[in-house]
Amino acid sequence: MSKVMSNVTLADFSTCEISDALIKLSVPHGGHIPDIHMVSPGTSNSDVRICSPAYTVKMVLASNTTAPKLTSHFVDTAPAGSAIVIDAPPEAKSAVWGGLMTAGAQARGATGVIISGRCRDLAEHRAQGFPVFSRGHSTLGQSPFTRPSAINIPLTLAPQGPGAEDFPAVTVQPGDWIIADEDGVVCVPQDLETQVVDLASKGREIDSRCMEDIKAGKGVQQSFKLHRGK
């Protein structure tokens, strides 16, 4: 990662701080990929976070005979230090990630996996301390329901379920920064990294002043108006 702002990097900020910065940069979704939550190593663990470039994987239904096929398992080609981002068909109720894949990803030096879809073998991921974020989980494995079709391509991750049409999709480009923690998952385009770090740093300073005044009894509204200007 490039060094900016006196060695301050994206890894120094929470997903919330990063989303706030992206909103200020007119990214309408604040980089947030909704409805994907931490399932490993625990459902609430403030020490677990991912801040790594994306290695993207596109899954298709097994019944799709026209989509390309991979010649190698996608875990075996994951770069060290990458966050594996998987887009599964929204109608699939089976998992696209399991305990053996976590073992393979750890052996490759991957930092975690973000799944727009389901995983399984939760106990195995948690026992290995591997960060897994997904939309849900399942008892069913990948075969014979889905298969990987492409790696290192842009993934457009759209919200699912009620109200999905009211929230913009997030496009993850290979190499974009993926930041994930107990609050959720955020994608930062590579070309916005420096600006996000700058704005997040300023936002943290402002919020620190607000917190100090609020704790002193000055009130939320007055503190916001004084430091945030609203």
What global pTM score does this model have? Answer: 0.92
* CATH code: domain of residue 121: 3.50.30.40
* Residue 210, both tokens: 């607000």
pLDDT tens, position by position, 162-214:
877 889 999 999 999 999 999 999 999 999 999 999 999 999 999 899 999 89
pLDDT tens, position by position, 91-127:
999 999 999 999 999 999 999 999 999 999 999 999 9
* Residue 195 belongs to some domain of the structure: no
* Residue 25 belongs to some domain of the structure: yes
The confidence score (pLDDT) of residue 101 equals 98
pLDDT tens, position by position, 81-96:
999 999 999 999 999 9
pLDDT tens, position by position, 134-144:
999 999 999 99
The confidence score (pLDDT) of residue 7 equals 87
- Residue 192: how many CA atoms within 13 Å on its side-chain side? 22
Burial of 80 per CB tally in 10 Å (0-12, 13-18, 19+):
exposed
* Residue 135 belongs to some domain of the structure: yes
* Residue 23 belongs to some domain of the structure: yes
* Residue 194 belongs to some domain of the structure: no
* Residue 208 belongs to some domain of the structure: no
Write out the binding residues: 98-101, 120-121
Alpha carbon distance 40, 102 (integer Å): 11
Residue 132 sits in which domain range?
A: 10-189
pLDDT tens, position by position, 44-89:
566 779 999 999 999 999 999 999 999 999 999 999 999 999 999 9
* Residue 200 belongs to some domain of the structure: no
Comparing 57 with 223, the larger pLDDT belongs to 57
Domain count, the chain: 1
Comparing 62 with 7, the larger pLDDT belongs to 62
The confidence score (pLDDT) of residue 144 equals 97
* DSSP strands (E only) in the chain: 37-40, 50-61, 83-87, 112-119, 132-137, 146-151, 155-157, 170-172, 177-181, 184-188
Write out the binding residues for Mg(2+): 121
Write out the binding residues for substrate: 98-101, 120
* Residue 128 belongs to some domain of the structure: yes
